[in-house]
Structure 1
């Protein structure tokens, strides 16, 4: 079974690699400009181990109760762990214990909690501001999207807070293509908007150059827009357990 799973993952990974390479070529970008993050949520640590053997170096999870034991089981592997889900402050201490990046930073209270725990653990944590392109700009505090994230108008303030917090490193921006609003069905336009926000961000924070966008169904549009990281789950691992 393990050998068959390895063959399956290797074939899927090769297919995704071809897609990314083709998208880079079409956009006039070098393949090295785009980092693949494999989203391993709901899949076992055994799959993570196989992926590592196949050369994957970045994996992502979105629920701490699943991620923490999986990361512990795979602690011997040369992996960078990205937390990409909505994060409650009571899970911050656990997440800081294994995550190298938190891509879903979307409020000041979370920044404070992350900084406190990063300092306590003696770690520097990479942080991305999650941008909700469907958020209501007129809402209090700039509004938040259905799946987390701050409105574009609130990015600069939150970014400054991260950059000024001990234990945290401001690395860039992340978004999920909106299902509603003006960008619904217009993934590339959404990702191009994120790139505009990234350009603005880098005037104040030149090193914050990560742009995490695009998933299994829209990675080509993300690469075309200029994303530096794509988060791919089902195209590598298959249909998630319980969803088939």
Structure 2
């Protein structure tokens, strides 16, 4: 455990250096970018070590992994983000531990999350996942709503009990006009965010960038970066 703690501490320090350097290059304050560590496939023991090292924001993408991990770490002051594609049959479970769901991409999901949040007596922060490979209102290959569908979905979240519209999220697309152009993709997301805030000024979160492209995300104006591999190491293959 001491060895793993040292490994995580070193990795976190290197990621912190990268974020700080990216902020400096973009003329931004370091405190304006929040690090979310994506702990998927890694055990609750790693989450506890990360907490010891100062991490307070963690993310998961599969409820079957996240729910027991969140329960095992319930004594820690952590903010849990759900970042994976979410099926409506998992919504009640996710609403029990997540403070934010970053992968909202359809009206049916908004309704289910609202019902679950009210039932749990909690307020959930929602981010709309924008699919930049779906420039129309359809869904993208990796989930997400096309840019033209953002306004309708945002209005639905804002009107739903138990929910708070936090902002937008994207994953750099593998296909379409932004494939291989992460900076351009993140710039586009920030443009969409600016338009969204005209009607929903509190929706200030822009979640973009992962281990390979966090610098592009910070340069574009992301407020949150989701880092997994660079902190925890290469993920074990799932059977």
Indicate the residue corresponding to 1:26 in structure 2: 25
Whether the 8 Å CA contact 2:132–2:173 is kept in 1: the answer is: yes
Indicate the residue corresponding to 2:120 in structure 1: 121
Q: Does 1:193 align with 2:192?
A: no
Q: Secondary structure at the match of 1:135?
A: coil
**Residue-by-residue CA offset, 1:46-92 (whole Å, 9 max, x unaligned):** 00000000000100000000000000000001100000000000000
Whether the 8 Å CA contact 1:214–1:230 is kept in 2: the answer is: yes
Q: CA deviation at 1:136?
A: 5.1
Which of 165, 168, 171 does residue 173 from structure 1 map onto? 168
Aligned equivalents of 1:28 and 1:218: distance in 2? Answer: 18
1:94-113 aligned at under 5 Å gives the runs 94-113=93-112
Aligned equivalents of 1:34 and 1:23: distance in 2? Answer: 10
Q: CA deviation at 1:135?
A: 1.1
1:35-50 aligned at under 5 Å gives the runs 35-50=34-49
Indicate the residue corresponding to 1:9 in structure 2: 8
**Residue-by-residue CA offset, 1:172-214 (whole Å, 9 max, x unaligned):** 0000000111101100000000000000000000000000000
Indicate the residue corresponding to 1:210 in structure 2: 205
Q: CA deviation at 1:241?
A: 1.2
Whether the 8 Å CA contact 1:163–1:169 is kept in 2: the answer is: yes
Q: CA deviation at 1:104?
A: 0.2
Indicate the residue corresponding to 2:89 in structure 1: 90
Whether the 8 Å CA contact 2:127–2:167 is kept in 1: the answer is: yes
Aligned equivalents of 2:43 and 2:221: distance in 1? Answer: 32
TM-score normalized by the length of structure 2:
0.99
Aligned equivalents of 1:121 and 1:134: distance in 2? Answer: 35
Q: Secondary structure at the match of 1:4?
A: helix
Count of residues in Structure 1 that have an aligned counterpart in Structure 2: 238
Q: Secondary structure at the match of 1:42?
A: coil
Indicate the residue corresponding to 1:227 in structure 2: 222
Q: Secondary structure at the match of 1:148?
A: coil
Whether the 8 Å CA contact 1:136–1:144 is kept in 2: the answer is: no
Whether the 8 Å CA contact 1:187–1:218 is kept in 2: the answer is: yes
Q: Secondary structure at the match of 2:168?
A: strand
Q: Which runs of 5+ in 2 are unaligned?
A: none
Aligned equivalents of 2:177 and 2:118: distance in 1? Answer: 40
Aligned equivalents of 1:74 and 1:219: distance in 2? Answer: 27
RMSD: 0.7
Aligned equivalents of 1:226 and 1:77: distance in 2? Answer: 30
Q: Does 1:145 align with 2:144?
A: no
Runs of 4+ aligned structure 1 residues displaced above 3 Å come to none
TM-score normalized by the length of structure 1:
0.97
